[in-house]
Structure 1
């Protein structure tokens, strides 16, 4: 098989196949996908609108919630418009630069999303373990600094990936069996040495998911220890209720991500179309449910949302 570097073509392109084996069902698959996408946009833009309009919600917890909403809008928007173009109009081509840009922003926003979940865990830790100093430890300025740290970490950790992809020579088969430019799927098409790219992907997964889960676990370990020292059962319940929404968001965000990563690397028994559908759902389901979870579990936010919906 002849090999060539795609960067020598003008313009070099890849072909995104959508969901191989289910091409005939693309239109039907697009219906739930587009519905999930629209619901996620409505939910997350509602969060941003309500918090922006209500001065009483300009607090660290809700600012973190807004950061989460922004990253979730970005993550789903990185993937779904192109996927829907494939499903509806059979627009399968994407330039190499467009593909690499999509990879960068998808991983960049995923890194920030994970950092925000860590900051939320720290917020809950301070609220439960040191409530008297909460207002001085977690100010809006501190939240902005945490957001900046997450942004810088995302840039520094994700930027090498696209740069490493640019140096690879690609085979004559430029077809990506996916709905979006997934890093490992692009690497598999290369005819060159991809060991550095694969090692980078593993290290990045550990840095973003592994370390962040460790920090979240430590925060909740300290929270549980503090709660167990409280003698009142009512106080137990109140303390744990403040963490319910965040725990649900963690489970719904990390579980599909870990499942997708592990099955992609280690399992050969799962059909490719099932894996592709699951990875797309991972990018759609958390952004759809997270605003609902916080709306149900946070009374103050729920009341503000009801205030605006009753005006309509």
Structure 2
């Protein structure tokens, strides 16, 4: 698709290319999302696995919430943190996938400028929240294994509520500058976003201004948040592994490590695609654009899909309760 050059003033076309350097601009009224540039002819086919994964993610995550709510034996810190993770996953995939599917199915590419910035905020906020929840879950496993006698006194309901609020506030405060910075830039080149959702860099690259503040801020938040959280998780699991290997029997070591295996799996399912997407987007100039977009789309969809599967298969109390819910043929 050929991009149209135009300028906005008060949400309307206000200038031509000849006077684009002298006219005052404000924000466009709408953006146009292209979906997956270069693969427009395959949008309908791409929508089939996307829709299947989204529905599966919804069913899986709501099932986890239902099981934890109805089974009193699961009313423990580990499973409360799991519910926080489930809600975060639901927000992440629901804030992006329905719009993607409307592009793929109905060619509904327009998105209001404010709605675009709202989507941008929710994506970055809950990515930071999810990373924070993984850090909180690592702390829970550390206390449960390294100091089990104090686990119930340290991780009380009040403490978990404070941790959840702190994680949410951190995500919100770190993500608020994204839409505020994006809103202040003048957009006079095009309103076409070569993406299937309002990703931060893809939006601000449309501005006809020096966007280094936005770029550097986004890079700093990604590196600092991910770096600090991964370091905290790594330190926690170093202590956990030391405690596990000091146990007297092999069976005790395997049983204790089994309580951490689900958490380790979902951490890898989140951070590996995130880092791959981040580095290919920033430094993979020779990688085709459609590959960037596909990786970014899958990065927001795969963890919400895998997390309930991992916990459902690898966590015995959830697996047993799930099997009870499945009707058996006589």
Superposition TM-score tier, normalisation by shorter sequence: over 0.9
- Match of residue 184, structure 1, among 165, 189, 201: 201
Q: Deviations over 1:144-202 (max 9, x none)?
A: 11101001111111101111111001133111111000001011111101011011101
Q: Distance in 2 between matches of 1:225 and 1:171?
A: 58
8 A Cα contact 1:43 1:291, kept in partner:
yes
Matched, 1:81 2:98: yes
Q: Distance in 2 between matches of 1:253 and 1:190?
A: 31
Q: How far apart are the structure 2 equivalents of 1:273 and 1:218?
A: 37
CA distance in 2, matches of 1:49, 1:121: 23
Is 2:222 the partner of 1:222? Answer: no
Q: Within 2, Cα distance between the matches of 1:267 and 1:129?
A: 42
Identify the match of residue 279 of structure 2 among 262, 273, 279: 262
Q: Are positions 1:60 and 2:83 aligned together?
A: no
Question: Any idea what SS the aligned residue of 1:171 has?
Answer: coil
Match of 2:121 in 1: 104
For residue 300 of structure 1, the aligned residue among 313, 317, 323 is 317
Distance in 2, matches of 1:306 and 1:186, equals 45
Normalised by the length of structure 1, the TM-score is 0.96
Q: What is the RMSD of the two structures over their aligned residues, measured on CA atoms? A: 1.7
CA 1:83–1:2 in structure 2 vs 1: closer, same or farther (change >3 Å)?
closer
Instruction: Using the TM superposition, give the Cα deviation of residue 306 of structure 1 relative to its aligned residue in structure 2, in angstroms.
Output: 1.8
Tell me the residue number matched to 2:139.
122
SS in 2 for 1:68: helix
What is the rounded CA distance, in whole Å, between the counterparts of 1:6 and 1:268 in structure 2? 33
* 1:59-83 Cα distance to aligned partner (Å, 9 max, x none): 1111111110000011000110000
Larger RCO of the pair (alpha carbons < 8 Å, separation 6+) = 1
- Structure with larger Rg: 2
Match of 1:17 in 2: 34
Which residue is 1:274 aligned to?
291
SS at match of 2:38: coil
Aligned to 2:301: 284
Q: 2:58 aligns with which of 17, 41, 53?
A: 41
Contact 1:76 1:287 in 2 (8 A): yes
**Which segment is superposed worse, 139-148 or 61-70?**
139-148
Q: Note if contact 2:28-2:187 (Cα within 8 Å) is conserved in structure 1.
A: no
Q: Unmatched 5+ residue regions in structure 1? A: none
Equivalent in 51, 62, 77 of residue 68 of structure 2 = 51
Secondary structure of 1:107's partner? helix
Equivalent position SS for 2:111: strand
Summarize the alignment of residues 138-157 of structure 1 with structure 2, pairs less than 5 Å apart: 138-157=155-174
1:211 aligns with 2:203: no
Deviates more, 1:11-20 or 1:247-256: 11-20
Aligned residues: 312
Return the alpha-carbon distance in structure 1 between the equivalents of residues 9 and 225 of structure 2.
30
Alpha-carbon separation, structure 2, partners of 1:305 and 1:2: 55
User: Could you tell me how far apart the structure 2 residues matched to 1:262 and 1:274 are?
Assistant: 13
Q: Which stretches in structure 2 are left out of the alignment for 5+ residues?
A: 13-26
SS in 1 for 2:95: helix
Deviation of 1:99 (Å): 0.6
Aligned-partner Cα distance in 1 for 2:318–2:55: 21
